[in-house]
Amino acid sequence: MRDLFESFRHYSNASDDQLLSEGRKENVAKRYPELAKKRESLDGESALDVLIQADPSGNQKYLEGAAKIVNASLESANNDDYEIFWGKKWPDDGSQDTDNLVSAWGITRNTAELLKPFHILQPHLPPTLRDINQFSSWRQLNAAVEEAVTIQAAKSVREKPKTKRKQPQGKARMWSRKMITTQ
């Protein structure tokens, strides 16, 4: 009974953003249990923990989309007869055939590293590319970030003020008038 009251007190004191964030974490963990599994080979972390820590929104806005990208990438690799490797360090001891391995940690880290640029550059994207949930692969998300960088660069070039300096005409005329009247 005491645990129930402790839990209630925790949620009653939490802000709306904290509740939203916790709800998103729980939903994603239920939807992608393989990503939420704590693994000894990941130093007690899960792939989901990496995505949670990398989400720059403050309320886990990108968590579901990022988890979907990682999960789809792992499923695609599995369908192509690759074996999923869940360690942080690539096996180099010769115990496994590394030609047939795909690193879940690597896919997760690569996806996590794109979250901050996507968040920052999102205003520069066309409205059709602003929702992370529409992407089903790391390549699509990376292409969107690269497009945003290109759009931002083009905008900054167009908006740069011209640095060409012109001599103000008014001062030159005033000086010449002074010259005329003083002569």
pLDDT band at 74 (very low <50, low <70, confident <90, very high): very high
Asked if residue 19 has pLDDT above 60, the reply is no
Find the angle CA(68)-CA(146)-CA(67) to the nearest 5 degrees. Answer: 10
Cα 85 from chain centroid?
A: 23
pLDDT band at 145 (very low <50, low <70, confident <90, very high): very high
- Would you kindly state where each structural domain of the chain is located, as residue ranges? 2-160
Asked if residue 2 has pLDDT above 70, the reply is no
Question: What does the CA dihedral 149, 117, 101, 30 come to, rounded to 10 degrees?
Answer: -140
According to DSSP H, which parts of 32-168 are helical? Answer: 33-36, 47-54, 63-79, 104-121, 138-159
Residue 19: what are its φ and ψ, rounded to 5°? -65, -45
pLDDT band at 44 (very low <50, low <70, confident <90, very high): confident
CA distance 85 to 108: 12
Q: Pick from 27, 57, 59, 52: which is nearest to 130 by CA?
A: 57
What average pLDDT does range 45-70 have in this prediction?
A: 92
CA distance 130 to 70: 18
Per-residue confidence (pLDDT) for residue 12, from 0 to 100: 55
Asked if residue 50 has pLDDT above 90, the reply is yes
Q: How is residue 7 written in tokens?
A: 């839990």
Q: How is residue 46 written in tokens?
A: 């899960």
Q: Pick from 105, 43, 44, 42: which is nearest to 70 by CA?
A: 105
